[in-house]
Amino acid sequence: MSIVDQALPERETKARLKSSKWHLHPGVRTGDQLTLGERAADHMRNGMGSWTFVFLFLGAMVFWVALNSVFKLGSPVSSGTKGFDPYPYILLNLVLSTMAGLQAAALLIAAKRADAISSEIAVHTLKNTESDRELLQENTELTRVVKTHTDLLEELHAHVTAISEHLGLTAGRFPPEQPRGPAAS
């Protein structure tokens, strides 16, 4: 676990993991860099792929069937007519078929946009990987040079130590100096 994860409370960490941050990736175009069609595809994907859309759609279907049933069964408003879309709800079927066709196209556009995002991230990652590979090769070469210099330094240190020990042994073999002066007699 990283230091950042340890510093954040658990709730904030979970919220951070749940939220999508793909738009912050440096390899992904966002905002004004996108075409009108790409922005529309993103909005459509975000709208149609939400629970809000599902519940609104189900509510519209219930409203359609309930409204048509009220008109069919007769009410003070309808005066017993058959309703605007009698069973088997042919107009509803037409609306749903049209909507399904449009949703399929929208989902294909959104999938194409998601594929483009994945491609942009992959290209960015490939460039980073190549850059990392170059840095690793440079680091390996520098490590090899440092190792060579370290080996030479150790060899030099061994020679200096050997010379020092040799000088120390031979320095003790010189005869002591004779005192000079009147006290020598």
Specify if 90 maps to a domain: yes
Read off the pLDDT of residues 141-163 as tens digits, 9 standing for 90 and up.
999 999 999 999 999 999 988 88
Give the pLDDT confidence score for residue 143 in this predicted structure: 95
Higher per-residue pLDDT: 24 or 178: 178
Domain around 132: 27-166
Specify if 17 maps to a domain: no
Q: What is the pTM of this model?
A: 0.44
Specify if 155 maps to a domain: yes
CA 117 vs CA 41, 77, 104: distances in Å: 12, 53, 20
Residue 60 has pLDDT above 80, yes or no: yes
pLDDT confidence bin for 21, thresholds 50/70/90: low
CA distance 184 to 120: 97
Specify if 154 maps to a domain: yes
Specify if 173 maps to a domain: no
Number of domains in the chain: 1
